[in-house]
Amino acid sequence: MTLLSVPVKKDLLTKLLRNVMLNYSSPKSLLYFAFFLLIVSCSKSEGGDPEPAAATLASNLLYNPASLQLQAGTPGTSVKPSISGSTPVTFSVTTSPASNGAVTIDSEGKIKTSASLAAGTYNVSVIATNAAGAVTFTNIYAITVTAATPSAPQNLLYSPNSKTVTQGTALVSATPTITSLSTVNYSITSVPSSSAITINNQGVISGANTLAAGTYMVSVTASNTQGSTLFTNAYSITVNSAGTNAVTYTNDIQAIIQNNCGSCHISGSEVKFNSYTSTKNNIDGILTRIKLAQGASGMMPNGGTKLPQSTINTIQKWKDDGLLQ
């Protein structure tokens, strides 16, 4: 049975022992001696709360797998590693050869590579630091970046890949996307053939306002130092005949805008529709808003009465006819 659990100080024990030795023959000494034995046998060792455990260095850093294979131009990320030792741990990396900042490490120890990392093999060393100090895990991870294989141009894409205009209206395509490791040169053919269809050195297709009515399928040849690729029917152009009933800005649309939108969009502070160019450039927004239901948020004319359907149809036909001036 534990009789006493109060910690005993060393100087008290020393004093008791000295009294026993100096007064051993007296009855009082016997009491001191008995009390001394009781304390020694029943008390806890000197001290209060246990000391906190000492911090331990990081150890056993492990990536599984311990390597990464990439093609040049592709970013990558390792798995999260396991590690022993006191936490928290902060990480840093070095590489051989140097990566010029293209290899980094995050707070979880995951190694990351950017798309700018040059082709080659990189040995990665990780420095793990905690309260106990820093430990370097030399060549703990390997990254291999292979150069992309040169090839003729691939994956030419126009978005959108067609255009419809009214005769007498020039057209320009969007700039296409294409895969190539070197500069690309472009040429085109069309069916039916027309010298009014051209292409520039960015791959942008143009149709002059002299292009005759009809539908043209345009094939593009893209060439680089590795070869050429023919992209058949990569783009289509439809030119509608203007006819005698074509809607134009000057004859039809200008008056509609002035009479129904002028207070906000000509003399007011809203986006201006005060010219052919500004009206043409905003036609999609105009059509969206005039087609909204009466009273709907954003309906034009703002705060007014919805335009007659015949007027809406005229504006829509202006777009369909090619936004003629």
Angle between helices 283-290 and 309-320 (to 10 degrees): 160
Average pLDDT score over residue span 235-244: 82
pLDDT of residue 111: 98
**Which residue has better confidence, 286 or 272?**
286
Distance in angstroms between the alpha carbons of the first and the last residue of the chain: 109
Q: What percentage of residues in the chain have a pLDDT greater than 70?
A: 84
Average pLDDT score over residue span 163-176: 90
Average pLDDT score over residue span 216-227: 96
Q: What is the mean pLDDT of the chain?
A: 87
Looking at the predicted structure, is the pLDDT value of residue 109 above 80? yes
68 pLDDT tier (thresholds 50, 70, 90): very high
Using alpha carbons, select from 243, 234, 143, 142 the residue that is nearest to residue 197: 234
Looking at the predicted structure, is the pLDDT value of residue 197 above 90? yes
Average pLDDT score over residue span 154-177: 92
C-beta neighbour count of 100 within 10 angstroms:
11
Q: What percentage of residues in the chain have a pLDDT greater than 90?
A: 57
Q: Is residue 59 within 8 Å of residue 89, measured between CB atoms?
A: no
As a whole number of angstroms, the distance between CA 69 and CA 78 comes to: 10
Each residue of 27-55: pLDDT tens digit?
665 565 566 566 555 554 455 566 678 99
281 pLDDT tier (thresholds 50, 70, 90): very high
| Helical H segments across 175-282, by residue range | 254-265, 276-281
Average pLDDT score over residue span 214-220: 95
pLDDT of residue 229: 97
pLDDT of residue 267: 82
Average pLDDT score over residue span 67-89: 95
| CATH class of the domain whose range is 154-240 | mainly beta
Using alpha carbons, select from 221, 174, 176, 171 the residue that is nearest to residue 197: 171
* Domain range summary for the chain, segments of one domain joined by +: 1-48, 59-146, 154-240, 249-320
Average pLDDT score over residue span 105-130: 96
Q: Do domains 59-146 and 154-240 have the same CATH topology?
A: yes
Q: Considering the entire predicted model, what is its pTM?
A: 0.42
| CATH class of the domain whose range is 59-146 | mainly beta
